[in-house]
């Protein structure tokens, strides 16, 4: 229940951020993620965020790809489905101060196309930051491996065991 409440609080924080907001992530005071979370090779057979909603149950081991929507100061970030269009990818990318928040997307599509990724050891979130880990930043394309959780409201999260950051 505690994880569900934390997930909801985390997701709602980023859902309320809009185009006119300041940068949502303060500079991290935690050390960067431990290297054992890094995958040097891209995991095969990655699913999209949206496809995890069909036929995948809570507790399943998953490989999921997407773009980083927001990185928190802690060891977590929101992952957006590759089909969602960030403001940076639109014809006028300068219209939005925070293009990684996908504020021009339909809120219903965002709910279905995003999930929370959190790095966890021994059932507890690590006290390290994901921001900057092998270049990880807002709008980075990544492939995450881990265990999927779906709460009673349909919110999805992945307890990440590794992340592969695609180079540009």
Structure tokens at 47: 């699913």
Q: How large a percentage of the chain has pLDDT more than 70?
A: 71
Q: Indicate if the pLDDT at residue 157 is higher than 80.
A: yes
Alpha-carbon gap, residue 52 to 100, rounded angstroms? 22
Q: Would you call 129 helix, strand, or coil by DSSP?
A: strand
- SS3 category, 118: strand
Residue 83 confidence (pLDDT): 86
Q: Cα 51–80–83 angle (5° rounding)?
A: 65
pLDDT digits (tens, 9 = 90+) for 40-99: 999 999 999 999 999 899 999 999 999 999 887 789 999 999 888 766 666 665 666 666
Does residue 133 carry a pLDDT above 80?
yes
Q: What is the pLDDT of residue 60?
A: 97
Q: Say how many residues make up the chain.
A: 168
Question: Cβ distance 166 to 43 under 8 Å?
Answer: no
**Which residue reads 């992530």 in tokens?**
25
Question: CB-based contacts of 138: which residues, under 8 Å, 6+ apart?
Answer: 25, 68, 69, 70, 71, 100
> Per the structure block, which two tokens stand in for 155?
């919110």
**119-129: per-residue pLDDT in tens?**
999 989 999 99
Q: Which residues contact 65 (CB under 8 A, 6 or more apart)?
A: 46, 47, 48, 82, 141, 142, 143, 144
Q: What is the pLDDT of residue 89?
A: 61
What are the sequence ranges of the domains in the chain? 2-20+30-165
Burial class (CB in 10 A: 0-12, 13-18, 19+), 129: buried
What pLDDT was estimated at residue 85? Answer: 74
Average pLDDT taken over every residue of the chain: 80
Please calculate the CA angle 165-16-7 and round it to the nearest 5 degrees.
60
Mean pLDDT of 97-116: 76
Cα(80)–Cα(62) distance, integer angstroms: 15
The answer to whether the predicted template modeling score (pTM) of the entire model surpasses 0.85 is no
Which superfamily, per CATH, for 2-20+30-165? Bacterial OB-fold (2.40.50.200)
Predicted local confidence at residue 116, as pLDDT: 95
Mean pLDDT lowest among 28-32, 72-76, 117-121, 144-148: 28-32
């Amino acid at each position: 229940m505690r994880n569900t409440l934390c997930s909801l609080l985390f997701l709602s924080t980023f859902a309320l951020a809009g185009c006119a907001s300041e940068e949502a992530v303060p500079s991290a005071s935690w050390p960067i993620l431990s290297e054992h979370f890094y995958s040097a090779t891209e995991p095969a057979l990655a699913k999209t965020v949206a496809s995890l909603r069909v036929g995948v149950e809570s507790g399943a081991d998953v490989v999921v790809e997407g773009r980083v929507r927001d990185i928190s100061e802690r060891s977590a970030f929101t992952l957006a489905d590759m089909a969602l269009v960030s403001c940076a990818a639109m014809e006028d990318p300068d219209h939005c101060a925070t293009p990684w928040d996908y504020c021009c997307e339909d809120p219903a599509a965002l709910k279905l196309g995003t999930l929370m990724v959190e790095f966890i050891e021994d059932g507890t979130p690590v006290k390290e930051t994901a921001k900057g880990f092998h270049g990880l930043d807002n709008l980075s394309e990544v492939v995450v491996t881990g265990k999927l959780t779906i709460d009673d409201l349909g919110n999805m999260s992945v307890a990440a065991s590794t992340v592969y950051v695609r180079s540009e």
